[in-house]
Amino acid sequence: MQPRDQFRQSLQDLVAYSPDPCGAPYGREDDWHSSAIESRLFQAAATIVVDALNEDAAGAQAPKDRAATALRRLADESARINTGWPQDNRFHFEVLDLRPALVVKMGVRTHERFSVFGIPEESPGKAHRAWSEVGSGSESTDVREVARSALRLFALHRGPPGNARFLARFDLVGCAGSTGVAYDAREWKPEGAGELAQIFKQSGAFGMDDRVPGFAPIGQLKTEGALVTIPYCWFSAIDTWDNPSMCAVDTYDLSGDNTKFISRAYNRPDLLPVAKAIEYAEQRDYGALMGYCASARAAGSMIRDLPPFVFAGVVIQVTPTGNGKERVELGGGAYRFDVEKRAGRWLVVAFRSQ
């Protein structure tokens, strides 16, 4: 089947589904699972873009404009076939021009992905250099199919080689509750057969709001300049409801040939050892647990006495007990951790359970 025919057929196949799996009609389990159809649609669209880029490549129209023209025709097809859907759920696109590469965001229904197009210096089996799809990415960084995935693209500092770099941020949303997040940073290296290298990645979550008592969020997403900051949170045993309490912000340096991780800062460094200690104690991972404990005695008591699942309860009680010392009580006092700041790091120094 020709790519344009495959694209049209995929749009027709999607007519049987609601535009949003969280919308009406409710209760249809099959309505969640359209990823195979969407994958065929996106692949057909990518092939159509490649053909458009290679057609009259020496002409006056810029590559971004050739790609956008082809994609606009596909969006018109979706408007005709999926006429009963809201515009945001029909096929849509965005082109990020990172010459000599193009990054295209494509979406349909409630899922979005990116495709990267470039010209490798060596094109195997071809007499001349030609455009091709050199990579793609989607919410498949999470193996579970999600109800909605929203993508944002950001150009990143190129560094001395001048290679195109970008960040893709996916917000992964169910029909209710908190939001997952996945960051995927890439660099297009056209040398030889070409490589779309992943330069960093991070996944996490965000709550339904940023108002967790005692746990202010930390950091802002910053993509301009050589220093990039990536904020995220994650669920842990010290959460008190459907909002992740522990949050961090990672900093990367893009000024050199290679991306370098610089630092990680936490919103509550005093409670980090408690959250991590519980995590590793539940897994009976003594070696990892020792990284957050001041002594083998504290680690051993947690390995021995903590159940496989610990719930913080409605309130976490944190009581200062001295300079750089705190007592942390979870589960209504069922679990008590003494933490101290030693050599710039907070550690669990003692543990007791009722």
pLDDT bin (cut points 50, 70, 90) of residue 126 is low
In this structure, are strands 345-353 and 227-234 parallel, antiparallel, or unpaired? unpaired
Residue 125 pLDDT > 60, yes or no?
A: no
Q: Residue 30 burial (CB < 10 Å; 0-12/13-18/19+)?
A: exposed
69, two tokens: 């023209």
Q: What is the mean pLDDT of residues 294-307?
A: 95
Q: 284 phi and psi, to 5 degrees?
A: 55, 35
Cis peptide before 3 (omega within 30 of 0): no
3-state secondary structure (DSSP) of residue 11: helix
Q: What is the mean pLDDT of residues 280-288?
A: 96
Domain ranges of the chain: 3-214, 272-353
- DSSP for 182-230, please give it: EEEEEEEE-STT-EEEEEEEEEEEE-SSS-BTTB------B-SSSEEEE
Give me the pLDDT at residue 173, please.
87
Lowest mean pLDDT, pick from 104-108, 124-128, 218-222, 224-228 = 124-128
Within 10 angstroms of residue 298's Cβ, the number of other Cβ atoms is: 24
pLDDT bin (cut points 50, 70, 90) of residue 264 is very high
Tallying the residues shown for the chain, one arrives at 354
Give me the pLDDT at residue 142, please.
46
Residue 137 pLDDT > 90, yes or no?
A: no
Task: Give the C-alpha separation, 136 to 116, whole Å.
Answer: 6
Give me the pLDDT at residue 303, please.
94
Q: What is the mean pLDDT of residues 49-71?
A: 88
Residue 237 pLDDT > 60, yes or no?
A: yes
State the DSSP code for 7: H
CB 222 within 8 A of CB 158: no
CB 228 within 8 A of CB 247: no
Residue 27 pLDDT > 50, yes or no?
A: no
- 115 vs 24: which has the higher pLDDT: 115
- Mean pLDDT, rounded, of the chain: 91
State the DSSP code for 293: B
Within 10 angstroms of residue 19's Cβ, the number of other Cβ atoms is: 19
pLDDT bin (cut points 50, 70, 90) of residue 207 is confident
pLDDT digits (tens, 9 = 90+) for 176-199: 777 899 999 999 999 988 999 999
3-state secondary structure (DSSP) of residue 123: coil
